[in-house]
Structure 1
Amino acid sequence: MLLEIFFGLPIEDVRKPEDLGPNNQPNEMSDFQAVLRWLREREDAGEVSSFAFHSATGYCLKCFVGPSASLKNEYFSKTVEAQILPPLEEEMTSLLYGRRGDA
């Protein structure tokens, strides 16, 4: 979802045939493979994401393989909020208003 917001494209528009399952339909790995490729392509093109965005997407990708990775799991949801949102919010505030202590 972060990549969709950042680049303004739905994941369905980013998937390639090699991301699909054996029946040429998306499966649970399709989006994961598409996102990994998408990020690599952006880095290869010199499109460097911000530290907070890179950190957030990396955390989300690691969570993909986690057995408790479900937003229905309250503990997991709170962990996501604590790990992803503060760095993104701080970075956004910094971009909008300058860094703390800058005058």
Structure 2
Amino acid sequence: MSDEELKQLIASNAKVIEALANTIAEDKAERKKAYQQWEKDRSQLYQYMGRIAAAQSSFYEIQADYYHQLATLSEKQTTIKERQVEIQEKISQQQSQIIEILNRLTSS
């Protein structure tokens, strides 16, 4: 091989090495960019998960309050029904007394 061919081969190899080095650098830059995007996406995912957990917590608090209010209303309704029964009993007693009084008055 002559000196000229050797110089051309060395120059050709240098260009190939430079091209490979540039390709590797570009690949590293792309991987770094992809990793940064992945980190950003992961961060957003954790934020969304945190928001979902907070919303879930709020939902369960509201649901618990709702069931508490239902229980309270049920207790009040039971109390009202008991009072209605007592009132009905008193009305029945008074009606019986009125009938008894009227019967006495009409029989006298």
Instruction: Classify the TM-score, shorter chain.
Output: under 0.3
Q: Which has the higher helix share?
A: 2
**Larger RCO: Structure 1 or Structure 2 (Cα < 8 Å, ≥ 6 residues apart)?**
1
TM-score in terms of structure 1 length? 0.22
